[in-house]
């Protein structure tokens, strides 16, 4: 029995995979009782590459067209493998997929200085705006949505996400709010619109900055909603509220204490901060090598214990913690569906290889949140234990009020 057949046999606990070798020979693996897929290797080195570094080369061989699925999608294949080895079940196949982990751990301690952080952000967020328009919602929210019902539309879920976050900020009119990692400006504009606050959004993406400033001008609120190209470490001043959505993943574990210390300095004594981030169930691990190389260079997904340890050292109080378990999976399914519908446009914009890379990235995210070790954390921080009411009732009231108030979000075009 070959190494690749042993690998497939260990990973599959249900379903079947028929593997077609470059010379046309076919072998079928798996116990059955689920999906059946046909996977083709187009050259002899595919099997070697997969065994040598499965976490990196599974994606790369698919991206390069060297591994193809003849009667399904890459998502179908990922669901078979990862779904059979769920994180909470401690699937034994995970040990095989973690080959090269010690080498990957070294990356946890690399440093994301300001210049490197800007390059890493540009790698992903300075892609053409037209790409993001094809698969995101109209407000271009590029982070986990909040599904009050799994059947809700992406537009509704992203609007509900903003209301859910805004409610946790305990806002009052006229407050100064800092949005760290402000993206295309949707959240900053939303907070101003529903809560009558002044917002400074900061980003390291020049393309996002252009769009955000234009949107503020078009909305007639550029005097109250401002955006700057600046690293959070270089910012001075003090703010009543701080919000950060989908940015903490790019901070890097070596900088967690620095991040929280700076946020504490920027936050008023009675201030409130809301941090929304992808995180890891259990302990922290090495970054996924495919994602790190091709999608988000320098990223790291924090465990809740890492976040707690770093914030505790600067005496930020975690006054409210919520885990969103499946919401990002629902979000990513919408994104993948819309990207797949726009396949021809994406290929014309870039090429077929880029589309397969993007498809693999979105499909991998789905199985990571449905069966892997990923989740989302929303953590509210305060400096003073008296900064917010002693029950969560104020959140529920504000969330409902914001949902009713926001009927016409601006479109990021």
Give 272's strand partners: 241, 382
Each residue's pLDDT tens digit, 261-304: 999 999 999 999 999 999 999 988 788 899 999 998 888 999 99
Report the alpha-carbon angle 26-27-28, nearest 5. Answer: 125
pTM assigned to the model: 0.90
E strand or H helix that includes residue 156: helix 154-168
How far is C-alpha 36 from the chain's CA centre? 30
pLDDT for the residue 99:
46
pLDDT for the residue 14:
84
Q: What is the DSSP letter of 12?
A: -
Q: Which regions in the chain score pLDDT beneath 70?
A: 1-2, 91-126, 407-411, 413
- Calpha distance 330→336 (Å, rounded): 10
Each residue's pLDDT tens digit, 65-109: 999 999 999 999 999 988 888 899 885 555 545 544 333 333 333
pLDDT for the residue 113:
64
What are the residue ranges spanned by the domains of the chain? 3-99, 108-405
Q: Which two tokens stand for residue 397?
A: 């009231």
How far is C-alpha 374 from the chain's CA centre? 10
- Calpha distance 160→164 (Å, rounded): 6
Q: Order of strands, edge to edge, in the sheet holding 36-41? A: 26-32, 15-20, 36-41, 67-69
Packing angle of the helix pair 256-266, 304-313 (nearest 10 deg): 50
Report the alpha-carbon angle 264-267-271, nearest 5. Answer: 120
pLDDT for the residue 413:
63
User: Which of the four CATH numbers 3.40.630.30, 3.30.420.40, 3.40.50.150, 3.40.50.300 does domain 108-405 have?
Assistant: 3.40.50.150
């Amino acid at each position: 029995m070959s190494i690749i057949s042993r690998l497939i046999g260990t990973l599959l606990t249900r379903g079947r995979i028929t593997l077609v070798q470059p010379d046309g020979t076919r072998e079928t693996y798996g116990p059955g009782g689920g999906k059946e897929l046909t996977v083709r290797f187009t050259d002899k080195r595919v099997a070697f590459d997969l065994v040598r570094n499965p976490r990196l080369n599974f994606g790369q061989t698919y991206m390069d067209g060297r591994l193809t699925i003849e009667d399904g999608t890459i998502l179908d294949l990922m669901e078979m493998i990862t779904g059979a080895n769920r994180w909470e079940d401690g699937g034994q196949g995970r040990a095989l997929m973690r080959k090269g982990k010690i080498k990957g751990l070294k990356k946890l301690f690399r440093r994301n200085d300001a210049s490197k952080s800007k390059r890493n952000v540009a790698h992903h967020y300075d892609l053409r705006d037209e790409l993001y328009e094809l698969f995101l919602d109209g407000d271009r929210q590029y982070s986990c949505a909040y599904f009050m019902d799994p059947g809700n539309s992406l537009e509704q879920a992203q609007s509900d996400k903003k209301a859910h976050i805004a409610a946790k900020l305990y806002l009052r009119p006229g407050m100064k709010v800092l949005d760290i990692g402000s993206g295309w400006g949707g959240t900053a504009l939303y907070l101003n619109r529903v809560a009558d606050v002044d917002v400074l959004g900061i980003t390291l993406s020049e393309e996002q900055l252009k769009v955000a400033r234009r949107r503020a001008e078009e909305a007639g609120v550029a005097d109250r909603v401002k955006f700057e190209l600046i690293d959070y470490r270089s910012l001075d001043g003090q703010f009543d509220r701080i919000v950060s959505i989908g940015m903490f993943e790019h901070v890097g574990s070596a900088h967690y204490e620095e991040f929280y210390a700076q946020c504490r300095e920027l936050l008023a004594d009675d201030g409130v901060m809301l941090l929304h981030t992808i995180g890891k169930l259990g302990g922290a691990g090495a970054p996924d090598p495919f994602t790190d190389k091709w999608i988000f260079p320098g990223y790291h997904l924090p465990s809740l214990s890492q976040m707690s340890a770093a914030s505790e050292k600067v005496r930020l109080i975690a006054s409210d913690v919520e885990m969103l378990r499946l919401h990002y999976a629902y979000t990513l399914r919408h994104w993948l569906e819309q990207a797949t519908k726009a396949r021809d446009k994406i290929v014309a914009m870039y090429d077929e290889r880029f589309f397969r890379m993007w498809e693999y990235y979105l499909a991998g995210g789905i199985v990571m949140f449905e069966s892997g070790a990923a989740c989302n954390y929303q953590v509210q921080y305060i400096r003073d234990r008296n900064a917010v009411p002693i029950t969560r009732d104020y959140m529920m009231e504000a969330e409902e009020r914001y949902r009713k108030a926001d009927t016409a979000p601006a479109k990021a075009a």
